[in-house]
Chains A and B, each alone.
Chain A
Amino acid sequence: MVSGLINANPVVYEKKERRTRSAPVDVDEYAAEEIDQLEIFEHIRDIKDPEHPYSLEELKVITEDAIEVDDKRSYVRVTFTPTVEHCSMATVIGLCLRVKLMRSLPPRYKVDIRVAPGSHASEAAVNKQLNDKERVAAALENPNLVDMVDECLAPSLI
């Protein structure tokens, strides 16, 4: 049981205005549409923090700038910043990001998730765990963890 909050009073930031894409002039409906930074951000901005009723965007755990996309190489890297250096929720947040992108992106995509350099006391260990797909697969067979992840992802599905 969680006896207390890890970060009792997080700073809450304003949500970024939702940009609407300007409609392209020539629409070639057969051309492959490139996936860009904004699209990835839209997928993950509304994920709820595991312990607060705020989104990862509102807590500045993720920003659009911290997303790297190379559509040609089918590669995405998301760098997130835990609210506190000792955040034990870091792996859960990382797992939520991975699961959301696994569900949203075409399967050809390679996704790396990491904590921002210097933002976490166990940075290397957290990064290693989040990018070990065998451990991720095992974690996602744990019903309690899946419930937790699904709860965090629920607002992002709207």
Chain B
Amino acid sequence: MKNFELNEVQKLEGHTDRVWGLAWKPATGIDGVPAVLASCSGDKTVRIWEQSPATGCFQCKAVLEDTHTRTVRSCAWSPSGKYLATASFDATTAIWEDAGGDFSCVATLEGHENEVKSVSWNASGSLLATCGRDKSVWIWEVLPHNEFECISVLQGHTQDVKMVQWHPSVNILISCSYDNSIKVWAEDGDSDDWHCVHTLNQSNSGHTSTVWALSFNASGDKMVTCSDDLTIKIWGCDIIRMQSGDGNAPWIHISTLSGYHDRTIFSIHWSRDGIICSGAADDAIRFFIESKDDLVDGPSYKLIYKKEKAHEMDINAVQWSSMENNRLASASDDGTIKIWEFISAPGKKMHL
């Protein structure tokens, strides 16, 4: 554990209520393009933070307000970084166009009966998924001229759907829910209909309470889920089979990380370097990596670092920068966002 350090780079203040979600803008923080982070909050606003090239400090560059009338629960950038989608308890999803740092709301997606909890763009930016308390998952097709057409309403979860996330390379959608299950949705090649192709629940080594979040590894052959049952689970899939167009390829339970958390795990994110980070209701941030020690029973995962009291209150989101390997952002009930640098201590080699 002493081989690693988590250094607080900056604390971002400005939201007047708990911060629920974070999203790093793609292709920023590299090649002289300043890093940009979006955050959303119970204060009904979204804030856009940009790193100053001169000082390296993040500053609030824009506040997106007066569109959502209730909590903004989740935000996601389109792959091109041109659009930001925001999901709100007001039952709508807003699409914001970023014209050089000037944001305007160009579309509002309506249809969910009540709170929208999560929004996700697919890898090509042609599809958008939303989910919510009405137990449904919606798939929207992105059309020209800022038009969005709902092409499927997916029923199957029996409770509140907490998060949707597209696979990083294949058009497979994953959702996780208050009903303790994870569902895999794929398009039927013949009819263009979307179906639930797998349900991962207690009967196949799944979670025993609310599944709050999920994240894929860089290559997309594994995903990690976290839950109110205080465990993290790793799932694997045959990526070759999936990439050849077979959405039915099953996701198999690989490992359960238990005994590390003692309150709900709200957020999980897998870095490009293979470091899994968790944010939990015990105010701590933890880091896990795959351990090569024991390959007899398949890969296992071990805790490599834990930051107690990373925030004053629950941590709702942890998000690795997609561009800068060591940079992490976290968001909390305490109303702040923190930017961190996770590094191996001087003189020590990072084993990954």
Q: Do A and B form a real pair? A: yes
Instruction: Given A110-B263, A128-B210, A132-B210, verify A141-B71 contact (CB < 8 Å).
Output: yes
Total number of A-B contacts with CB less than 8 angstroms? 38
Q: Is A19 an interface residue (CB 8 A)?
A: no
The distance from the CB of A132 to the nearest CB of chain B, in whole angstroms, is: 7
**Would you give the 0/1 interface string for B56-88, flagging 1 where the beta carbon is closer than 8 Å to chain A?**
000000000000001101000000000000000
The distance from the CB of A128 to the nearest CB of chain B, in whole angstroms, is: 7
**Would you give the 0/1 interface string for A73-109, flagging 1 where the beta carbon is closer than 8 Å to chain B?**
0000000000000000000000000000000000110
Q: How large is the interface on A (under 10, 10 to 19, 20 to 34, 35 or more residues)?
A: 10 to 19
Chain A contacts for B270, CB-based, 8 A = none
Does A134 lie within 8 Å of B117, measured CB to CB?
A: yes
Question: Do most interface residues of chain B lie in helix, strand or loop, or is the interface mixed?
Answer: loop
Instruction: Given A107-B313, A108-B313, A110-B263, verify A141-B178 contact (CB < 8 Å).
Output: no
Does A132 lie within 8 Å of B71, measured CB to CB?
A: no
Chain B contacts for A128, CB-based, 8 A = 178, 209-210, 228
Give CA–CA (A35, B86) in the complex, Å: 40
Does A138 lie within 8 Å of B210, measured CB to CB?
A: no
Q: Is B115 an interface residue (CB 8 A)?
A: yes
Residues of chain B from 6 to 28 with CB closer than 8 A to chain A in the complex? 18
Does B70 lie within 8 Å of A141, measured CB to CB?
A: yes
The distance from the CB of A24 to the nearest CB of chain B, in whole angstroms, is: 29
Give CA–CA (A108, B332) in the complex, Å: 12
Give CA–CA (A133, B333) in the complex, Å: 10
Does B313 lie within 8 Å of A133, measured CB to CB?
A: no
Instruction: Given A107-B334, A110-B263, verify A137-B71 contact (CB < 8 Å).
Output: yes
Give CA–CA (A141, B263) in the complex, Å: 25
Does A107 lie within 8 Å of B210, measured CB to CB?
A: no
Chain A contacts for B42, CB-based, 8 A = 137
Give CA–CA (A116, B71) in the complex, Å: 32
Give CA–CA (A3, B260) in the complex, Å: 49
Instruction: Given A128-B209, A132-B178, verify A107-B115 contact (CB < 8 Å).
Output: no
Does B89 lie within 8 Å of A141, measured CB to CB?
A: yes
A-B contact pairs, 10 of them (CB 8 A): A107-B334, A128-B209, A128-B210, A131-B228, A132-B178, A134-B117, A137-B42, A138-B71, A138-B115, A141-B71
Would you list the 8 A-B pairs with minimal beta carbon distance, nearest first? A138-B115, A141-B70, A138-B89, A107-B313, A141-B89, A137-B71, A137-B42, A108-B312
A107-B312, A132-B210, A135-B133 given; name 17 further pairs at CB < 8 Å.
Answer: A108-B313, A110-B263, A128-B178, A128-B209, A131-B228, A132-B228, A133-B281, A134-B117, A135-B160, A135-B178, A137-B71, A138-B71, A138-B89, A138-B114, A138-B115, A141-B70, A141-B71
